[in-house]
Structure 1
């Protein structure tokens, strides 16, 4: 089996599992640094595949495709966390270095595992209870109280796979919405706002943390991120400490997105709870494309390919807005604005709620 060098030179090949917008932007960043990219994606003519050297069109668990990707690419990363764990094992068996590694993926794929890990690492979450049947749910509600949110343990994102329970009338419908899947019941967090932190770690243990972003959701989907967020020094230090604890605890390599509930009071005490972690580049980090010298996508490529991490200081304050569905048809008007940079994902069909693009509006220099 070949041994992958710690640092990959320009001209090397990076593999990406997943052909959506995150894979596309990782590929574009890798190309700027002189790397070739191979995409593994079941949908032909994918957004990422069209900007990469090659696409292998096959299922994420196809053994032949995984073997080919592992042989072609000394390093393989992924753009979403629902990659089968067995696929990473096959890639490693084919000789590739997979980053982030299997531990990070396993933790992020299961909400119970995730919250257990986070609390053990000193990154607290809301109280939670495992739910396998209706009796578990009823006992969990007695312990946590109302309101509470029931979520599937695995999969689910952008508001999918979850149901709020605000009264006794919501219990049966919420349980039925899980469709028999193992779930976790979470206590409601009385947060003031939602923040997020984007951070990176290299194979030698060095870390780089971006300024905080403040997020606004609509219908369970991120609508707007404004960064750097206006936050006290205490909140910023606490967020950095949480990010570094997560990275170290997972022996992480690459960029991670960490969503935070800010419960801080006016007395200066910083109280942050982790909502969830994403072992990949993250929607709330898109602002870095126009607010930082080294954006989150380049940072991820640097980390997984063994390069020095780039600077994370912001040179501008940015408001990032997602364009969902047919909102992308505003592209002509948005492209005409002097303070906006448009990032289109190259998706063919603008379905309702589908992320089609984002715009970064520069609010001014730091």
Structure 2
């Protein structure tokens, strides 16, 4: 157990790290942010900040030596340099979770082996591979980079084989996935303690615009909620197979034939922001509890339901209008530059 008063190291300086640090402070912990950028928003609410590259093993070791436990706020931290951390402090979630989640082919193989249902897929490393994948799976489909893509980035919709043949492929490993005929999207967010205990939050119905999450609604419609139990079984298998500690998110398509796994995130997740006001214990607090070895908090709804809307780009300028409704809970992340497609904050409303 890492007692309150100790320091939690957080790799990454974005809004997820910021919200983890806020939850940690409530429990009496200090947070130390490690990030390559010079002025990360998470550092605004943390006790310490170290600027360093994620592949600088000497800097990582020095950082970890001043922490009781280390976690991360996004899944694209290079795995190999993390070996410099573990002689000094435990790392949760484990690095194995990053190895799986960082590569879409590894992720699909991992979930397939656990009996999960995924979209039909094939690895693509050449034009010939893409042609073979389109022939085997059919079109339409989606070509994705195996690594680093998020919020719709690094993805190309291919409606016909001719369109695929005309693509100028990037010189990176790719994956081709067949389209899934779905009527809704939802996420399963769980927290797993070091003792193997697992707790789930209610699953949100997620609505995306241009590949970016726009709204999460809890509870989900009945047709989606009916598929949550089966999705939780897979999520539990994933967590157990990874010997996971912390908050884990799996995203699913709801289809006429049951849930289809889309992707996983070994961290707190945008579709769980509603839990700050909408659950008895937020995903951020329970992440801190889990990685520090504390008892997990209750995950039940704090109201009949919650709606969470992301504030994308210029939408953050509407803060005065948002606050004019006393029922709104506004969260602004403190980002200096307002850019199209950039998540600047979110707002939640409880359904009483």
Does the residue aligned with 1:297 lie in a helix, a strand or coil? helix
Q: What CA deviation, in whole Å up to 9, does each residue of 1:162-190 have, x standing for no partner?
A: 1011013321354x2x4111111111100
1:44-193 matched pairs, under 5 angstroms: 44-93=38-87, 95-174=88-167, 176=168, 178-193=169-184
Of 275, 286, 289 in structure 2, the residue corresponding to residue 302 of structure 1 is 289
Alpha-carbon contact 2:332-2:345 (below 8 Å) kept: yes
Q: How many residues align?
A: 350
Cα deviation, residue 213, structure 1: 0.5
Rounded Cα–Cα distance in structure 1 between residues aligned with 2:200 and 2:138: 36
Of 261, 280, 285 in structure 1, the residue corresponding to residue 267 of structure 2 is 280
Cα deviation, residue 108, structure 1: 0.2
Match of 2:238 in 1: 246
Alpha-carbon contact 1:343-1:359 (below 8 Å) kept: yes
Cα deviation, residue 102, structure 1: 1.1
Q: What CA deviation, in whole Å up to 9, does each residue of 1:274-306 have, x standing for no partner?
A: 100000000000111111010000011111111
Rounded Cα–Cα distance in structure 1 between residues aligned with 2:240 and 2:91: 17
Cα deviation, residue 231, structure 1: 3.0
Alpha-carbon contact 1:123-1:246 (below 8 Å) kept: no
Alpha-carbon contact 1:164-1:170 (below 8 Å) kept: no
Rounded Cα–Cα distance in structure 2 between residues aligned with 1:19 and 1:124: 34
Cα deviation, residue 339, structure 1: 1.8
Alpha-carbon contact 1:323-1:359 (below 8 Å) kept: yes
Alpha-carbon contact 2:134-2:161 (below 8 Å) kept: no
Cα deviation, residue 327, structure 1: 1.2
Cα deviation, residue 69, structure 1: 1.3
Rounded Cα–Cα distance in structure 2 between residues aligned with 1:228 and 1:301: 25
Rounded Cα–Cα distance in structure 1 between residues aligned with 2:188 and 2:314: 29
Alpha-carbon contact 1:122-1:245 (below 8 Å) kept: no
**What RMSD over aligned residues (CA atoms) do the two structures have, in Å?**
1.3
Moved more, 12-21 or 256-265: 256-265
Answering whether residue 12 of structure 2 is matched by residue 12 of structure 1, we say no
Does the residue aligned with 1:97 lie in a helix, a strand or coil? coil
Answering whether residue 324 of structure 2 is matched by residue 340 of structure 1, we say no
**Change in 2 beyond 3 A, CA 1:202/1:217:** same
Of 344, 354, 357 in structure 1, the residue corresponding to residue 342 of structure 2 is 354
Cα deviation, residue 234, structure 1: 4.2
Rounded Cα–Cα distance in structure 2 between residues aligned with 1:86 and 1:163: 29
Rounded Cα–Cα distance in structure 2 between residues aligned with 1:50 and 1:197: 30
Moved more, 282-291 or 226-235: 226-235
Alpha-carbon contact 2:188-2:228 (below 8 Å) kept: no
Contiguous gaps of at least 5 residues in structure 1: 1-6, 266-270
Rounded Cα–Cα distance in structure 2 between residues aligned with 1:307 and 1:123: 31
Of 194, 201, 204 in structure 1, the residue corresponding to residue 195 of structure 2 is 204
Of 187, 210, 215 in structure 1, the residue corresponding to residue 206 of structure 2 is 215
Alpha-carbon contact 1:14-1:37 (below 8 Å) kept: yes
- Normalized against structure 2, the TM-score is what? 0.97
Answering whether residue 254 of structure 2 is matched by residue 262 of structure 1, we say yes
- Normalized against structure 1, the TM-score is what? 0.93
Cα deviation, residue 137, structure 1: 0.6
Match of 2:307 in 1: 319
Please identify runs of 4+ aligned residues in structure 1 that moved more than 6 A: none
Does the residue aligned with 1:26 lie in a helix, a strand or coil? helix
